[in-house]
């Protein structure tokens, strides 16, 4: 069963959200190769949800360890005002017409 991290993020500004999205799009696939799916959803001008789905708890934990290392050195952390993380089992997952 796949597992997921869901991260609610509030950014310092609309520009900070845009800067994060551009950088995350570049680095996430490289930094989290264990993930099956990596998404960032803008929910309003200064907020978004990061959703990452992993094939197993072990893969998710490897991704978490990578994230914990990057938090110490990344330029993206100062862009964020507030972060709230939850994790759980993926109950439904469909990938329709992947491109």
Task: Decide if 97 is inside a domain.
Answer: no
Say what the pTM is: 0.84
At 35, which CATH number? 3.30.70.100
- Asked if pLDDT for residue 70 goes beyond 80, the answer is no
The Cα–Cα gap between 47 and 49 comes to 7
The Cα–Cα gap between 71 and 30 comes to 16
Task: Decide if 72 is inside a domain.
Answer: yes
Task: Decide if 98 is inside a domain.
Answer: no
Task: Decide if 14 is inside a domain.
Answer: yes
SS3 78: helix
Task: Decide if 27 is inside a domain.
Answer: yes
Residue numbers of the domain that contains 63: 3-88
pLDDT the model gives residue 73? 59
* 58/63: higher pLDDT: 58
Count structural domains, the chain.
1
């Amino acid at each position: 069963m796949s597992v997921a991290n869901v991260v609610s993020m509030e950014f310092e500004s609309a520009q900070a959200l845009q800067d994060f999205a551009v950088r995350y799009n570049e680095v996430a696939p490289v930094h989290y190769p264990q993930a099956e799916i990596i998404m960032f959803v803008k929910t309003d001008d200064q907020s978004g949800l990061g959703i990452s789905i992993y094939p197993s708890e072990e893969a998710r934990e490897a991704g978490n360890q990578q994230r914990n290392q990057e938090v110490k050195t990344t330029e993206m952390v100062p862009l964020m005002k507030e972060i709230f993380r939850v994790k759980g089992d993926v109950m439904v997952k469909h990938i329709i017409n992947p491109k």
